[in-house]
Amino acid sequence: MGKHKVHTGISGSPFLVHVGLHQDRITDPERHPFNVPAIVRGLPLRLKTPVTMLVGENGAGKSTLLEALAWACGFNARGGDRDQSFGEDADGQALGRALHLAWRQRVSDGFFLRAETFHQWIDYMESVGATFSQYEHKSLHARSHGEAFLALFEGRFEDGVYLLDEPEAALSPERQLTFLALLHQMDRSRCAQFIIATHSPILLCYPGATVLKVDEQGIREIDARQSEHVRLTRDFLNAPERYFRHLFADDEST
């Protein structure tokens, strides 16, 4: 990373290598989050590489899992890192308490990025007067969402565990490539571990990532290029008319 990075010398990512579920801590199997099939069928889970991507349909359970992991890692379940507390705690707690984490090397630094609360996080940082040298001349609020996110990534992400929920939401395709370049630098140093929920075909194709498909069957490893997200996007862009003919079929019959 840039010259402002101070690595603490840890270099054994992936640090978090196993996520299990304490069956006896499932408080109510009929209710959220214990009724999410991917969670009950998908755990335990092994994390093999410094970068893991979670992919799956809307509602599959990716955010539920990330929030619980954030809580279990000691981060704020609404987003941020371990020293920050803003807003109400999300539901991550209930599942977080039931998770069992196994670490190859216990690290406590990191960050949980939730797209929904990113601006709240910025408000919080500004309210406590947080300053980062690289942000001195421009408030994070004065940046676009994507710029603020990349500034955060470049300026603040160092060693640790990073849980990112749909980081592409803020990023243009070109900025997604910038994100991949930054990710690669941190991945190569083995000083950071990333678990990223994404719908982005660009992010999914990051080489070296383990891609885990999250669905009602559970959680299993897939080849990114064979994922629905990548295939559908490629097929659509190759021949959008084919899709439109099908999608708008009703219009033609009226």
Ligand X SMILES: Nc1ncnc2c1ncn2[C@@H]1O[C@H](COP(=O)(O)OP(=O)(O)O)[C@@H](O)[C@H]1O
- Quote the least distance from Cβ 237 to ligand X, whole Å: 24
Q: How far apart are CA 84 and CA 48, in angstroms?
A: 29
Query: Phi/psi at 101 (nearest 5 deg)?
Result: -105, 135
58 binding partner (options ligand X, Mg ion, none; Cβ < 5 to 8 Å by kind): ligand X
- Quote the least distance from Cβ 58 to ligand X, whole Å: 4
Cis peptide before 29 (omega within 30 of 0): no
Q: By three-state DSSP, how is residue 235 classified?
A: helix
Query: Phi/psi at 113 (nearest 5 deg)?
Result: -100, 115
For the record, the structure tokens of 151 come out as: 């500034």
Binding of ligand X at residue 30 (CB under 6 A)? no
Single residue of 62, 78, 114, 213 touching ligand X by CB under 6 A: 62
Single residue of 13, 52, 64, 176 touching ligand X by CB under 6 A: 64
Question: In terms of CB distance, is 67 or 81 closer to ligand X?
Answer: 67
Question: In terms of CB distance, is 115 or 140 closer to ligand X?
Answer: 115
Q: Which residues bind Mg ion (CB under 5 A)?
A: 62-63
Residue type, 234: R
Question: In terms of CB distance, is 93 or 178 closer to ligand X?
Answer: 93
Q: How far apart are CA 56 and CA 36, in angstroms?
A: 13
Q: How far apart are CA 187 and CA 123, in angstroms?
A: 29
- Quote the least distance from Cβ 67 to Mg ion, whole Å: 9
Single residue of 4, 23, 27, 59 touching ligand X by CB under 6 A: 59
Binding of ligand X at residue 56 (CB under 6 A)? yes
Half-sphere exposure at residue 197, Cβ-oriented, CA atoms within 13 angstroms:
24
Tell me which residues touch ligand X (CB under 6 A).
32, 36, 56, 58-64, 91
